[in-house]
Structure 1
Amino acid sequence: MEQVQQILQELEMAGSIMLASPSLVTNDQRSAAEAVFMNFRKTNMPYSICRYILDCSKVDFVLFETAGTLRDALIRDWILLSQDQKNELRQYLFQFIMRDGNIAPFVRERILQVINVI
């Protein structure tokens, strides 16, 4: 659990750098922040981590990137997942977008893309 919280903190910090004005961050900082998200996308079987992030983060950019990670992982791991796992994830994502009426439209659209993959 502590490791997942650390991942969330790293993603939120990287997200704040990515969204910061170019006058406030260096190119090296921005590149390092991009690397955090690129490495996260390569996480093996990231489903429980992604669910934790979706449940706990309030940073729209992090939610958007997490949904993208889920989409990529589903495509990559499709044959490794049982039908029950796919159904559970689909149900969770539907519930996620329904329970949070304040979710940013671009995040909602990204999550709907993930559901469409399933």
Structure 2
Amino acid sequence: MRTWQLTVVAFSAAGVLLSGCGGGSDGRFVAGDGAEVTCMEHQPDAPGTAYTGGEDGDTAAILAVFRYYVANGSKPYCDGEPPTETDRMWAQLVVDLGGSESSVAPILQGG
């Protein structure tokens, strides 16, 4: 093979391999394993397009966030730390989408 052909093959292979290393989870909500929640875990990522995509959003995913925060929004975080800015983003999303601010007030108020 010629040098330019090897270069094309190498870049093509790299592109295929790197395509699986994309932008991560696109801000998926992490709610645990479905067991009863005694304390909340911090959210690792800001809300992604499944939650902020308007008509293109994922209704089931949004409802799961609502259920979680209505049931658990007043519980402390498992590590004893205050909510992070990312946690506040999720709580504000609940309010922005029509949820009750009272269910997430401790998160929005920072403690």
Q: Rg: which structure is higher?
A: 2
Give the number of the structure whose residues are more often helix, by fraction: 1
Q: TM-score, normalized by length of structure 1?
A: 0.36
